[in-house]
Amino acid sequence: MAIVGIDLGTTNSLVSYWSDDGPKLIPNALKSFLTPSVVGVDDQGDILIGEAAKERLITHPHLTIGDFKRTMGSEALVKLADGAHSYQFRPEELSAFVLRSLKADAEQHLGEDVTGAIISVPAYFNDIQRKATIDAGKLAGLKVDSLINEPTAAALAYGLNEVDESQFLIFDLGGGTFDVSILDKYDNVMEVRATAGDNFLGGNDFRDLLLETLGSDHKMDLEELSASDKNKLIRLAELVKKDLSAREEATYSAQISDVKLEGSFSRDRFEELTSSLRRRLRVPMERAINDATLRPENIDNVVMVGGASRMPMIRRMVGRLFQKLPLSHLNPDEIVALGAAVQTGLKTRNAALEDVVMTDVCPYTLGTSAVVDDNYDNLVIVPIIERNAVVPISESQQFFTIRDKQTQINLDIYQGENMRPEDNILLGDLKVEVPAAPAGKEGVDVRFTYDINGALEVEVKALSTEKIVRKIFKNQANLSDEELEKRFKALSGIKLHPREHAENAVLIAKAERIYAESLKAQRDYVRSLILDFEQAITDQSNRDLDKVREQFSQSLTELENSMFDMD
Amino acid sequence: MDVWERLGIEKTDDERAIKRAYAKKLKTIRPDEDPKHFQTLREARDEAIYLAKYDFDYDYDWDDEEEASDSSSHNEENLSPTVEPSLEEQGAENLTLERALDDAEPRIEDSYVLTLDEEDVKRDPIISQSTNSKLTELKEEDALSEVTSEGAPSNIRGTSNVKEVGTKLGESETPPNLPGFYETDIDDVTYEHIDDEVENLMGPWSLWDTAEWKKFVNRVRECSFDISNYAEYEILSALGDNLTEAKIESSFKRDARLNILYYLDEEYGWTQNDRRIYAVLPSDQSDVLMDYLRHGEIGVSHGSGETYYDAFGFPLLTAEHFKDYLGKNDSVYEKYYQKSYSDGRELRPSWCWPGFIFSPLWLAHRCNDGLEALAGMFYLMALIVLHYGLTTPSVIASILGILMIVSIHVLVGVYGRKLVVTTLANTLQDLQNDEKLSQDEKLKKLASIGRGGFKALFDFIVGMAGIGLIATLIYRLLI
Ligand SMILES: Nc1ncnc2c1ncn2[C@@H]1O[C@H](COP(=O)(O)OP(=O)(O)OP(=O)(O)O)[C@@H](O)[C@H]1O
């Protein structure tokens, strides 16, 4: 009976737990902490997750999918199908597979059942996306004890060791999302002062720009490429991007359909290409600082989190903005998971964390629409809970009828920062009956309660009759309980690829990818390697499988190095 | 119970003491277990801090400086940039980024403590995940040299560099030699400079220059928060005055200026959070600005459901719209549309061969909305005139007939593509306003206009023949 922390990322997911000496990451079957958030169907119709699936993006593009976190909270169905197998999944279900695999890793590592989890979500995830994440947990058979905002988690991991009081800013640029939080730490209180972000800005956008440019450099029409070739190009762009974090100039060479791509890309060009993305990073930072009623110079430290914060241009920009060197961890993509583990420790009241209290904020404004100045055209949002209010919070406001003999008051509940209702996200509506009376005589008291998990409850009370209508918001895009139950059953029927074979699966997937990427002479060689290896696996009597695997892996690495000659 | 009792302390103006008291109480009142109590406690703290800052101080001699910066930052909705008050103290004119950089330098020395020593380095990176994990301050390149090789970092080389920089930082007077780190080519940006520049750029609405705008915005956006905020404020207030004069112009014309507005929006995130705009501009001006920004931004829904127009009345069409209309992915029209749109110009003439060669038939096929009937009649008249000219014979009538025929071919050739796009947009709009039709019927209608096919041709020929017959009869009767 253990509770784990999970960072369910766009590109990578991690699982962690609180141990007697602090937060610890849990390795997966491949002994790596990062499990790529990629899901695929293998030749047997089982579900493959992580590295092996990632390798198969190129060889089996129609059976493999990544980046699905971006669609969380929508009803987008993903079809994974080829001749033999056909599945359709919602984003929650795809996430559930990743969670299931992480859960298995944790159970293996801890030697006990894992029943609960604290999952981190981008701070700027809205209500609908949060619910989808909780549903994903349920589908994976995990009780999601609570959600934690990613930058808050990072802050927990970082701030725990900061003895002094300080105010710091967490800059979290992951694969698909960008979050900023400002924290104030004093006397073992970790107080989130403000949070802002952009749900559609991350390392992958930098990659995509590079992708487009590579495509046009080599006169390729990206739209026309086959799914497999497109994934090859994406992989190439990703490699070049990462290489440019280390070097001034990345040289690449790759074979995509009949075209041989060769060339080099300079860091300067990449930085110039992405300047607009970089500037978009400023908006959330400015907003967070303003909301925290601080000035940039009051920020003692800037902590860089998320894999994409490794890019030198990002650090330089942050350094320039704050006029100080940002802090970075050796592994910026692991911090959020560590923080989630700290949160599990807090939640279970671990003795080591007895004294630590963390308070978070609601990252967006919640309100209802109302007419002001008795002018019907002048419909505006009336905020009830202002963004960056400390949660849990409960606030109320009164509204009155606008017409004579009005018998019903309709309340639309919105989330967002804009003045006009239509520009915000509509969460739902409520209706209350009131006795007929002259305009302005009857009214309602509207109370919004927002809890620490980001769930909103609205209670409307008619002033004269004291009649109460209450609603906890559950959005249409989310699954109903019955539906959830049904899908849980369906998913339980689908097998994950056996964990103990994970290593072999990755190697074979990788070999197949190299096969797809290579040319004739090399292909024969790769094929013979694969066949030999498969033979060794089926051959039960072979006691040296480990050694064979080792050799196979080495041959592949050598092959790959000769192909993707990156320097 | 007043706030001080709730916090369990004496009245004080020491913010630190208030926070300490709050922290102490918080250990007994957990937010997740007792939300009500927590909220009252928190409110008490906020009020206490407020009192400490503003009310309490009245009894004392207060520090001018503090007041200025506090009052400006206190009011969240007061979005005129917080730089203004403190700016005056510092002498706005002289404050260049260069100076800001100089000012910042000593702080770097203070806080730049290198915690990475030899031992830390030799450890496997996994160890740094224990509670004692240190977030190490690294010089950017070193951190990178460690992460790029996916496996175990070879960070010995990296560290020695860090150490070097560290010692350099500690000793040297001049700013650290971190290549590119604080390097800017924007040292000349001053507040005054911004005022001038914005005024220049804003000029008459007709003279907006995309390249100049981008250059300016890129430059200020690379500067410190203060400068960038100040520029935003200036731009917004100037926009407010400027916009109301220039309302929507003609339809089917998209203005390059709109691109500039979109660009500004992307930089400053106005549409995500328009309270910033409403705070700076009066609400009528804000509404106009948001109109400009929003209508181009909304996603275009597919399939004759709804069409959107940008602030200049240019319809926003997608590939799906074209597909519904033309029945296939005919990239010619779509590309033509996209190009006109991204050029920021109106739909310009663009040669259309099939339109030129088969004019009336092509019209019947592609723009089957009544226009082709007019064109057909005109064409018939031209034929009659030509016939008359040739049979009478009359040179003038012959030439006139030929001219009429050529002109219609040329016209359709020149405006064919534009015609397709306009017909599509107009039809979409008509259908959208039509409440009687179901979605399916709308799609059918759209298709019948965009690809009349054989039926259109048949109707067209029957119609022509009919009119021809009547014309011949009248002609016979008259003669
Ligand atoms: N050395 C590097 N240089 C540049 N980018 C890198 C480097 N290493 C990782 N990245 C980028 O970091 C991103 C992944 O970061 P991370 O694992 O923190 O994200 P995530 O947690 O999956 O996403 P999110 O937090 O948005 O859900 C990817 O876009 C990847 O390309």
Q: With residue B37 as reference, give the H or E element that holds it.
A: helix B35-50
CATH number of the domain located at residue range(s) A175-329 in this protein: 3.90.640.10
Q: Would an 8 Å CB–CB cutoff place A452 in contact with chain B? A: yes
Looking at the fold, whether B356 and B470 belong to one and the same domain comes out as: yes
Question: Given a cut of 80, is residue B204 above it in pLDDT?
Answer: no
Q: Choose, out of A330, A378, A414, A449, the residue to mutate when testing the contact with B (most B CBs < 10 Å).
A: A330
Put simply, the chain A residues between 421 and 450 with a CB less than 8 A from any chain B CB are: 423
Question: Given a cut of 90, is residue A261 above it in pLDDT?
Answer: no
B60-69: list long-range contacts, CB under 8 Å, 24+ apart. Answer: B60/B13, B65/B89, B69/A295
Looking at the fold, whether B290 and B254 belong to one and the same domain comes out as: yes
pLDDT band at A163 (very low <50, low <70, confident <90, very high): low
pLDDT at B126: 26
Q: Is A329 in the pocket of ligand 1 (CB under 6 A)?
A: no
Range from A115-129, A376-390, A524-538, B196-210 carrying the lowest mean pLDDT: B196-210
| Chain B residues whose beta carbon lies within 8 Å of the beta carbon of residue A349 | none
Mean pLDDT, rounded, of chain B:
66
**Span B129-150, average pLDDT:** 35
Supply the residues of A annotated as catalytic.
Answer: 7, 69, 150, 172
ipTM for the predicted complex: 0.81
Q: Would an 8 Å CB–CB cutoff place A296 in contact with chain B? A: yes
Closest approach atom of ligand 1 to CA A13: 22
Residue finishing a domain among B108, B141, B172: B172
| Chain A residues whose beta carbon lies within 8 Å of the beta carbon of residue B225 | 285-286, 289, 296, 321
User: A150 CA to middle of ligand 1, Å?
Assistant: 14
* Ligand 1 pocket mutation pick from A8, A10, A198 by most atoms within 8 angstroms of CB: A10
**Span B153-162, average pLDDT:** 32
Q: Is A12 in the pocket of ligand 1 (CB under 6 A)?
A: yes
For the whole prediction, is pTM greater than 0.80? no
State the burial class of residue A348 (Cβ atoms within 10 Å of its Cβ: 0-12, 13-18, 19+): middle
Q: Is A311 in the pocket of ligand 1 (CB under 6 A)?
A: yes
Given an 8 Å threshold on Cβ–Cβ distance, is B153 in contact with A330? yes
Put simply, the chain A residues between 33 and 52 with a CB less than 8 A from any chain B CB are: 33
Which amino acid type is present at position A99?
L
Q: Domain map of chain A by residue range?
A: 2-174+330-358, 175-329, 366-472, 518-563
Question: Given a cut of 60, is residue B383 above it in pLDDT?
Answer: yes
State the burial class of residue A209 (Cβ atoms within 10 Å of its Cβ: 0-12, 13-18, 19+): middle
Residue finishing a domain among B120, B141, B159: B120
Between CA B139 and CA B431 the distance in angstroms is 61
pLDDT tens for each residue of A290-324: 888 888 888 988 999 999 999 999 988 888 788 78
pLDDT at A187: 87
Q: With residue B276 as reference, give the H or E element that holds it.
A: helix B275-280
Residue finishing a domain among B140, B172, B204: B172
Question: Given a cut of 70, is residue B181 above it in pLDDT?
Answer: no
Fold of A2-174+330-358: Nucleotidyltransferase; domain 5 (3.30.420)
Q: Are strands A393-400 and A443-450 parallel, antiparallel or unpaired?
A: antiparallel
- Residue B241: inside a domain, yes or no? yes
pLDDT at A564: 56
Looking at the fold, whether B417 and B367 belong to one and the same domain comes out as: yes
CATH number of the domain located at residue range(s) A366-472 in this protein: 2.60.34.10
Looking at the fold, whether B156 and B260 belong to one and the same domain comes out as: no
Range from A89-93, A365-369, B118-122 carrying the lowest mean pLDDT: B118-122
Q: Is A204 in the pocket of ligand 1 (CB under 6 A)?
A: yes
- Residue B184: inside a domain, yes or no? no
Number of domains observed in the structure of chain B = 4
Q: pLDDT above 70 covers what percent of chain B?
A: 61
Given an 8 Å threshold on Cβ–Cβ distance, is B269 in contact with A310? no
Closest approach atom of ligand 1 to CA A176: 26
Q: Would an 8 Å CB–CB cutoff place A282 in contact with chain B? A: yes
| Chain B residues whose beta carbon lies within 8 Å of the beta carbon of residue A394 | 35-36, 39
pLDDT band at A330 (very low <50, low <70, confident <90, very high): confident
Domain that holds residue B148: 131-172
pLDDT at B343: 63
- Residue B341: inside a domain, yes or no? no
pLDDT at A270: 94
pLDDT band at A367 (very low <50, low <70, confident <90, very high): very high
Looking at the fold, whether B467 and B399 belong to one and the same domain comes out as: yes
Taken in order A207, A210, A215, A216, the sign of the CA dihedral is positive
Paired with A459 in beta bridges are A447, A470
Highest mean pLDDT among A31-45, A501-515, B56-70, B89-103: A31-45
Closest approach atom of ligand 1 to CA A177: 26
d(CA B347, nearest CA chain A) in Å:
25
Given an 8 Å threshold on Cβ–Cβ distance, is A423 in contact with B79? no
Which amino acid type is present at position A478?
N
| Chain A residues whose beta carbon lies within 8 Å of the beta carbon of residue B236 | none
Whether A2-174+330-358 and A175-329 share one fold: the answer is: no
Between CA B156 and CA B178 the distance in angstroms is 19
pLDDT at B346: 66
Question: Given a cut of 70, is residue A124 above it in pLDDT?
Answer: yes
Range from A161-165, B117-121, B321-325 carrying the lowest mean pLDDT: B117-121
